[in-house]
Amino acid sequence: MDTTIPTYPLYLISPLRMEVDGEGVTTLVTSYGCPLKCAWCINEQAKICREEIKRITVEELYDRVKAHNLYYLATGGGLTFGGGEPLLQCDFLECFFQTYQTGWKYNLETSLAVPWENVEKLIPYIDYYIVDCKSMNASTYQAYTGCSGQLMRENLQLLLKRVGTDKIKVRIPFIPQYHTREEQEKSKEMLLAMGLTNIECFSYVLREFHKKNMDKPADME
């Protein structure tokens, strides 16, 4: 494969989703690779982007999602890119959006924990952002993800300024062992104070994997 052509480390393609991660009928396209190390990550295998992972070209991606073109157009749907962290693949996505004038909607599920340049590059193409902010509390964010939340908070502020609140939904999970309901509520208040209006609080559903690891300190994950 020509290494100058951007390729995408494909994790999975999940078609025909209805109003789950964007308007209308969507296909979720996820990638390997994530800058965070969330303790209760449900996409364990998606965190790391290894050499041997299958990488696809923009043409291959288009071929795999175009079968539902009529559903996307009829319902105002399209593609939702998730992860891992899709903004690590911004060169590939820019190339895809420039190559195909589809009329589809493009949604992004992101932690925004990437350099601002990655976010900015895709602003002309993205219709809707679903931002997983984890927590607005700096120490909780650090303990849960192993990374500083400053980048996410700065990027969220910049993104809000550039695209407006109607294009952004922020999700705040209740994270067992890492914060309280009061802290989840406090994060919501901070986001509202920033000018964001679409905020969804939800609870992580702990699976068997998580329950077995409940007693492990975060730095052992």
Between 166 and 219, CB nearer to ligand SF4: 219
Is there binding between residue 43 and ligand SF4 (CB under 6 A)? yes
Between 34 and 199, whose beta carbon lies closer to ligand SF4? 34
Q: Convert the chain into a string of H (helix), E (strand) and C (coil).
A: CCCCCCCEEEEEEEEEEECCCCCCEEEEEEECCCCCCCCCCCCHHHCCCCCCCCEECHHHHHHHHHHHHHHHHHHCCEEEEECCCHHHHHHHHHHHHHHCCCCCEEEEEECCCCCHHHHHHHCCCCCEEEEECCCCCHHHHHHHHCCCCHHHHHHHHHHHHHHCHHHEEEEEEECCCCCCHHHHHHHHHHHHHHCCCCEEEEECCCCHHHHHCCCCCHHHC
Is position 22 an interface residue for ligand SF4 (rule: CB under 6 A)? Answer: no
Q: How far is the CB of 150 from ligand SF4 (least distance, A)?
A: 16
Nearer Cβ to ligand SF4 (41/160): 41
198 is a site residue for ligand SF4 (CB under 6 A): no
The residue within the footprint of ligand SF4, chosen from 28, 36, 122, 172 (CB under 6 A), is: 36
List 10, 25, 28, 38, residue binding ligand SF4 (CB under 6 A): 38
Among 10, 25, 28, 46, binds ligand SF4 (CB under 6 A): 46
Sole binder of ligand SF4 in the list 57, 107, 111, 137 (CB under 6 A): 111
CB of 4 vs ligand SF4, minimal distance in Å:
28
Site string for ligand SF4, 54-93 (x = CB under 6 A): -----------------------------xx---------
The four Cα atoms 219, 211, 82, 129 give a dihedral, to 10 degrees, of: -90
Task: State the residues that interact with ligand SF4 by CB under 6 A.
Answer: 34, 36-38, 41, 43, 46-47, 83-84, 111
